[in-house]
Amino acid sequence: MTAQETIQKTVSDNDVVLFMKGTSQMPQCGFSSKVAGILNFMGVDYTDVNVLADQDIRQGIKDFSDWPTIPQLYVKGEFVGGCDIVIEMTLSGELDQMFADKGINFDTEKAEQIRAANS
């Protein structure tokens, strides 16, 4: 399978996917850590893909999304964005709405705590 096929299969087969540097439990960059931290705190069940483990995936995900940076979040096959976008969507409540609309389980109280801590 090519990197593009692997990425497509991963995005198609999992409801929430985070392409990141490191893993959900051991991020290896600050931006990846922020997004994983949001998802972990909100109790979202997601698949993490460590782009540092495979150079073809690391470059391939940038080509796949036409987005130059990592991390990259996908929800139900849809590219959501990188760190700044995920943070903005979390603080505005848009991420909650997207999860709710797409049937993704998350802890609404934890999402509110993030917003309260950042207001």
Domains of the chain, first to last: 3-117 (3.40.30.10)
Q: Which residues of the chain have pLDDT under 50?
A: none
The pLDDT of residue 119:
84
Q: What count of other Cβ atoms lies within 10 Å of the Cβ of residue 119?
A: 6
CA distance 94 to 57: 28
Residue 83 assigned ligand-binding role: no
The pLDDT value recorded for residue 1 is 87
